């Protein structure tokens, strides 16, 4: 039995009892990595870990923690760092071990949790369907969806942009991409909210509820895929149903798992990216003003917003062989947690890493991973982020945020606001002096 079978339930207990966490970690050199500060602003905690080196061991967590940028890329691209072993561990621990066999089968086929050679095959097949052309054709629809969502809160002086925009947009975009009719979009939101619980191993859930949601999801998408084989359209479900390479096709289970992975991973991460970016630009109004007046900044600005406060913070692996990295030896069988948010602030790579600089060009962030598991939906997430932020700037201009009113996701894996009230400026501002319409055109770039 791996020690994590004890560690994981212990962490859940600690997370449910903040006072216990405070007492448990009172004398720990890394402080309380499980307290409320971990959700609202985790970066000072990461610096305590980084003080022990870019790769550091902690006995209590029974894991290595990677905070270095180069070390993170090395681990994430190593063929000896496996993801399936971590999932096997997770499925052996309650409540995951009480999921149905069918739910486990679908979860095991998520690209996030599959190693080569199966990963190579699945990624190759899906890559033929999830093309830049598919993403590019979505841009006008994404822009229209953003506008439609913001129209609904146009008259509000302090709208919650998480509820109004960041949370619904990714589900609507993915539904449109897949080919789910609009009347089904609320159902897709419900499915995502239920099954996404599986992506956070430190939060308990009801296995029966998740099993029921997965069964309903599977039934619908098998039926939809069969319909598309007879009557194909320009959408992702048609492409997945028809994709073939030398006679090799996706099985029904693989197809359902692929759609589920795209929905659940894409929803959670993009929601966080949009919310985090809105907060970041409120904290750095000078940089926001530059973005509103210098459209040439957009490409680097998107990368910097993704770096400065990413939505996915941990990317776990299990090492299959002894590995030398960062001046230490990671033994075969050891768990490794790559802290993406910390790696993105490695001062050896990023000058003044805690500042937002929208013209920064020092290397790509590792927010979408690295190596063979690099996020297949990264281009779509970038496009959604750009469309959402651009629209917020056009409509809200010099907005402000009461950070005490922000509520943050209670997760050690993903990060982002769940409540994000934004105050419109008391009077219209026009930093360019050329009029609001002209400023909006400049911002669109």
Residue 195 sits in a domain of what CATH number? 1.10.630.10
The parts of the chain modelled with pLDDT lower than 70 are: 1-7, 128-130, 245-246, 427-445
What is the pLDDT at residue 189? Answer: 93
What are the E-state strand segments in 291-399? 314-319, 323-325, 328-330, 335-339
Is 124 part of a structural domain of the chain? Answer: yes
Instruction: Give the model's pLDDT for residue 287.
Output: 97
121/254 Cα distance (integer angstroms): 11
pLDDT score, position 1:
57
Please tell me the predicted confidence (pLDDT) of residue 436: 37
The per-residue b/e assignment along 223-246, b for 16 or more CB within 10 angstroms, e otherwise, is ebbeebeeeeeebbbbbbbebeee
Pair 303, 364: CB distance under 8 Å: yes
Number of domains in the chain: 1
d(CA 200, CA 14): 15
Is position 239 within any domain? yes
Distances (CA, A) of 333 to 4, 118, 336: 11, 21, 9
Show the domain range for 431: 52-444
Residue 41 maps to a domain: no
Q: Where do runs of H (alpha helix) occur along 51-131?
A: 69-77, 84-91, 101-108, 118-127
Q: Any idea how long the chain is? A: 445
In a domain, 31, yes or no: no
Residue 429: the pLDDT is: 42
- CA–CA dist 332, 318 (Å, integer): 8
């Amino acid at each position: 039995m791996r020690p994590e079978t004890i560690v994981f339930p212990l962490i859940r207990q600690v997370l449910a009892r903040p006072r216990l966490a405070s007492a448990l970690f009172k004398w720990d050199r890394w402080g309380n990595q499980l307290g409320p500060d971990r959700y609202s602003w985790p970066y000072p905690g990461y610096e305590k870990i980084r003080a022990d080196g870019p790769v550091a061991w902690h006995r209590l967590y029974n894991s290595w923690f990677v905070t270095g940028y180069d070390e993170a890329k090395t681990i994430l691209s190593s063929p000896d760092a496996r993801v399936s072993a971590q999932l096997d561990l997770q499925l052996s621990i309650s409540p995951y071990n009480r999921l149905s066999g069918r739910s486990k089968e679908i979860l095991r086929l998520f690209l996030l949790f599959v190693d080569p050679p199966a990963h190579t095959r699945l990624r190759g097949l899906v890559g033929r369907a999830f093309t830049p052309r598919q993403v590019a054709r979505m841009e006008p629809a994404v822009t229209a969806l953003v506008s439609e969502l913001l129209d609904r809160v146009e008259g509000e002086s302090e709208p919650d942009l998480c509820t109004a925009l960041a949370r619904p947009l990714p589900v609507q975009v993915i539904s449109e991409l897949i080919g789910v009719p609009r009347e089904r979009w609320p159902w897709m939101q419900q499915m995502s909210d239920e099954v996404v619980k599986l992506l956070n191993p430190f939060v308990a859930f009801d296995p029966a509820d998740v099993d029921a949601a997965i069964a309903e999801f599977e039934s619908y998408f098998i039926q939809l895929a069969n319909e598309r084989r007879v009557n194909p359209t320009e959408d992702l479900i048609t492409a997945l149903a028809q994709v073939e390479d030398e006679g090799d096709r996706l099985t029904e289970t693989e197809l359902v798992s692929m759609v589920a992975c795209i929905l659940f991973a894409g929803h959670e991460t993009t929601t966080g990216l949009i919310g985090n970016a809105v907060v970041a630009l409120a904290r750095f109004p000078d940089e926001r003003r530059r973005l509103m007046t210098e459209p040439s900044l957009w490409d680097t600005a998107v990368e910097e917003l993704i770096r400065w406060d990413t939505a996915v913070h941990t990317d776990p692996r299990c090492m299959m062989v002894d590995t030398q990295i960062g001046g230490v030896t990671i033994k075969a069988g050891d768990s490794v947690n790559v802290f993406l948010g910390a790696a993105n602030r490695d001062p050896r790579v990023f000058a003044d890493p805690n500042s937002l600089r929208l013209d920064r060009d020092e290397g790509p962030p590792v927010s979408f991973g690295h190596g063979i598991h690099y996020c297949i939906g990264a281009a779509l997430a970038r496009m959604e982020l750009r469309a959402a932020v651009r629209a917020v700037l056009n409509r809200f201009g010099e907005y402000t945020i009461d950070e005490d009113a922000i509520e943050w996701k209670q997760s050690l894996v993903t990060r982002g606001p769940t409540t994000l009230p934004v105050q419109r400026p008391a009077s219209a501002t026009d930093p360019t002096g050329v009029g609001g319409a002209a400023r909006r055109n400049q911002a669109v770039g």
